[in-house]
Amino acid sequence: MSDTNLFELSIAEAGRKLRDGSITSLALTEDALSRIAAIDPALDSFITVTAERARADATAADANFSKGIDNGPMQGVPYALKDIYDTAGIRSTCHSKLRLDNVPAADSVVETKFKAQGGVLLGKLATHEFALGGPSFDLPFPPARNPWNREHIPGGSSSGSGAAVAAGLVRMAMGSDTGGSIRGPAAYCGTVGLKPTYGLVSRRGVFPLSTTLDHCGPLSWTVEDSAIALQTIAGYDALDPASVDVPIPDYLDGLGQGVEGLRIGLPRHFFAKAQDVSPEVVAAIDRAAETLEKLGAVVDEITLPDYDLFNACGRIIMYTEAYAIHEQDYQKRPLDFGRLTYLRMTLGAFVTGADIQQAMRLRRELSRAVNLKLKNCDALITASALAPAPAFADIDPNSSPNWPVQTMPFNVTGNPAMSVPTGFSASGLPLSMQIVGRAFDESMVLRIGAALESATGLSARRPALARG
């Protein structure tokens, strides 16, 4: 295998080759660094490339392999982090002027777990400012661009994570998801994006946006790679107040079991007649449902409460909590925020106690409605994004962007949800849907995603990118 296609190896494939000695971690790392240098100037997915750290990590991993030491599936495998994850001795900027000089003294829990396995940190990735305001051109770093067409957005707020994975700069990147910020970039960039159940992955050391809605999770090219990443990071953290102490299964166990006999709910009314929905998205989800039926699943149409109720509930909570987190800087350093961040946080300043109480009450009702459907279904499938990625030119710089995604419902309920590719638009941009499971049943979500991925072969299609 030549160095020019090392980037195409999945985590699982690279792991096998690392362990049989046919490749080295240093070779994978040098290939990734070379690819970043050649391609990323056109994509702006990285804020900080940690080349020296990456080479040291790779050298240490190779030394351990030579001694027969194996610390886990991420050993020797390059990865990257959204730039809201704390990294000891490496700046963590949140893509904001307010944190340009922030160098944490300690790692986030997620980074600690990757480091313990011997993963190779390539760097920190672009986001929207504080995972809220973007895409913006008035920040210290430019917004990331979509590798399928750089004139289009890669989604937000885990924009750099989606772009870097889609471009093959890294096999897996960590994102965060408060209203869809893992699944949105995955949908627009044609990757897998997994939002785990609320409380499954520690958020300690990750800059918060909305403490009752925030989730940490991976973006990757394959479902299997997301399962490997989740296996690495899932687990109880007594110092994260939201963390839940539940048994962690082997997430790889069910990936080959197929969907024979499973019952899957399809709330088609959610998206099929939504404002701004693309007929291509609807047709692609219908094809995916037909594929699952051909594989032996039963797909039944179901109804859920109106999407607008989920969206309003989640946004009231998100903006209120975001304002509470940033209130001091908002009052003392307002001009240091990007315009979109400031506008969005301003909404939270005007929410009343009665508003937030009503939102919390509605949240319980909406969660109950979703979980009642999941008593009779093994999982649900629905839209992630309602249309392909919009162009930067189509976004009004004078108003807060509101591109059509339908990811907020499962931040409100906390259920696991994963965006997976379903095809491509006539313009060549990715299409997607999300798979939603019962609380802490990521194994079922991954199982269904793996079956669909195997049947469609979409993970093999990658954007055409020039390399230096």
Q: Which residues are catalytic?
A: 82, 157, 181
**In sequence order, what E strands does 108-171 have?**
120-125
Contact status, residue 164 vs residue 171, Cβ threshold 8 Å: no
| 397, two tokens | 């710089």
Write out the E strands in 27-136. Answer: 46-49, 78-82, 120-125
Please give the full DSSP string across 248-264, using - where no structure is assigned: ---TTTTTTS--TT-EE
Residue with tokens 């999770």, as numbered in its chain = 217
Please name the residue ranges forming H helices in 90-214: 109-117, 159-166, 183-189
What are the backbone dihedrals phi and psi of residue 27, each rounded to the nearest 5 degrees, phi first? -65, -45
User: Distance between CA 357 and CA 70 in Å, rounded?
Assistant: 50
> Could you tell me which of 186, 240, 238, 192 has the C-alpha nearest to residue 214?
240
CA-based angle 441:177:200, to the nearest 5?
A: 35
Tell me which residue of 169, 73, 63, 89 sits closest to 125, measured CA to CA.
Answer: 169
Coil, strand or helix: which one is 206? strand
CA distance 385 to 396: 19
Q: Under a CB-based contact definition with an 8 Å cutoff, are residues 371 and 438 in contact?
A: yes
Q: Are 69 and 55 in contact (CB under 8 A)?
A: no
CB-based contact 370:304 (threshold 8 Å): yes
Q: Would you say 134 and 95 are in contact if contact means Cβ atoms under 8 Å apart?
A: yes
Judge contact between 80 and 170, C-beta under 8 A.
yes
- Residue-level length of the chain: 468
Is residue 336 within 8 Å of 98, Cβ to Cβ?
yes
Residues pairing with 48 in the sheet: 124
C-beta neighbour count of 354 within 10 angstroms: 8
DSSP 201: B
- Alpha carbons within 13 angstroms on the beta-carbon side of residue 346 total 10
